[in-house]
Amino acid sequence: MEEVQIISACLVGASSNSSNGNKLISQNIEMTPWDLQFLLVDTIQKGLLFKKPTPQQQEKNNTNMFKSLNSTVSLVDHLKTSLSRTLDFFPPLAGRFSATKNPNDDSITSFSITCDNSGAEFTHAIAQELTVKEILESCYVPTIVHSLFPLNKVRNMQCVTKPLLGVQVTELVDGYFIGCTMSHSVGDGTCFWHFFNSWAEISRGFEFISRFPVLKRWFPENIKTPIQLPLKLDDEKLYECMELPILKERIFHLSKESVCKLKAKANSEMGTKSISSLQAFLAHLWRSVTLCRQVNANEEVTLTIIIGTRTRLNPPLPEGYWGNAAYLKPIKITAGEILEKGLGWAALQMNKVVASQNYEEVVNLYEGWVEKPVIFSRNALFVANRLTISSSPKFSIYSCDFGWGKPVAVRSGMANKGDGKVTLFPGVEEGSVDIEVCLVPETLLAMENDSEFMEFVTVSTT
């Protein structure tokens, strides 16, 4: 497989534009349990694949953006400049974490975000033999895709010294790949795509972004900050690497019609209308993976889903709230139940758990976490017979136009990958879904031969 050549790398700070609405340089932002829970795991890594513009596109759009595309260096400089201007609106991404030891107990550490404009990492790279078609049409996600992201193998906790944001612009034979790596302890997927879309707006020539981030974190009135954590930065156990089996990644595509059929099937089986599209197709995936893993009927299988808190609080968090606002919730049943009781029953188990996550439950979990912090480790995310769901098909991904057209695909990096990692994306076609599945090869091969699963799923190509 061809290699990625790094041309240059530098730190890019905010341009300190006085017109921005977030003047937080040199200020600290306290971190919530939703932020702190991810300290020991990897970052968020998502990237967009673009085709190079045709001469006709450049001639039709006679703008400075298209003029710059005559030179890759000019394009990179333009993206670097627009990134700097975008960081004016997102000062945490140009900062670092601060770790403060409790004077009464050397083993207790508190964390905050310091908006000191230390800079985000910006990398320019070239993959001289890699084509857009190779990424789009490969049966399995090519391993070279992981090299299209910066700050690989960085854990969120290391962003005391490492950048909280890294960007890599890689020139392909006939396209560009823009890979972003963001600390998961500074924000969640909603924040990630808020930033990505805002950067695209500035790149297209907007003076201001369409939606300003709200950087003030939410704390219940009775919570004292900063929140104290039982961590030692020099504890070698925190940096132990998990031994992974050989893994492969594949993207399965669900058309809008297939999504609707699965939802209708699940609701019909249970005589209800409450099961969502997401719950239906996740149940479809969960059943196939359980079958193909050949799990014994009496063994427990787990699906870990994301519970968003933005709309569950009273009052809801403000639009544009910029920080983590979600937690992980495991759903546990036996392999025999999920295979014997059918799609609708499995989907309904998710539906019941999601419905139970109300305001009181969210606040109780928040306050309970403060009393007894639970910080996820990578080992805990990928125990036997588990699927861990990340991202969302509701994110605005294909609106990220940097000035030469919309992306043709989205891919994720190596962060937080293990046997059972599932990443959800919207498909290019409105209403469709792409499911990126990371599993051991024998499970993936068995899924391809699972006729019940494949009846609704196709290989994702654009």
Q: Which residues are catalytic?
A: 184, 401
What is the C-alpha to C-alpha distance for residues 260 and 460, in angstroms, rounded to an integer?
18
Q: Are 112 and 28 contacting, i.e. CB atoms less than 8 angstroms apart?
A: yes
- How far lies 69's CA from each of 65, 102, 174, 202, 433, in Å? 7, 52, 13, 16, 31
DSSP string, 159-222: GGTS-SEEEEEEE-SSEEEEEEEE-TTT--HHHHHHHHHHHHHHHTT-SS-SS--B-PPP--TT
Residue 118 tokens, joined: 């230390």
Residue 60 burial (10 A CB sphere; 0-12, 13-18, 19+): exposed
What is the C-alpha to C-alpha distance for residues 177 and 123, in angstroms, rounded to an integer?
12
- How far lies 246's CA from each of 108, 440, 441, 443, in Å? 37, 6, 7, 12
Q: Are 116 and 161 contacting, i.e. CB atoms less than 8 angstroms apart?
A: no
What is the C-alpha to C-alpha distance for residues 322 and 311, in angstroms, rounded to an integer?
14
Place of tokens 């099961």: 275
> What is the signed CA dihedral for 285, 282, 180, 144, rounded to 10 degrees?
0
Residue 128 tokens, joined: 């001289």
What SS3 class is residue 132?
helix
- 210 φ/ψ angles, rounded to the nearest 5 degrees: -75, -25
Residue 126 burial (10 A CB sphere; 0-12, 13-18, 19+): middle
86: how many CB neighbours lie within 10 A of its CB?
26
Burial 345-371 (b: 16+ CB within 10 A, else e): bbbbbbbebbeebeeeebeebbeebbe
Residue 102 tokens, joined: 């409790």
Residue 354 tokens, joined: 């999601």
107: how many CB neighbours lie within 10 A of its CB?
11
What is the C-alpha to C-alpha distance for residues 283 and 319, in angstroms, rounded to an integer?
30
What is the C-alpha to C-alpha distance for residues 323 and 35, in angstroms, rounded to an integer?
7
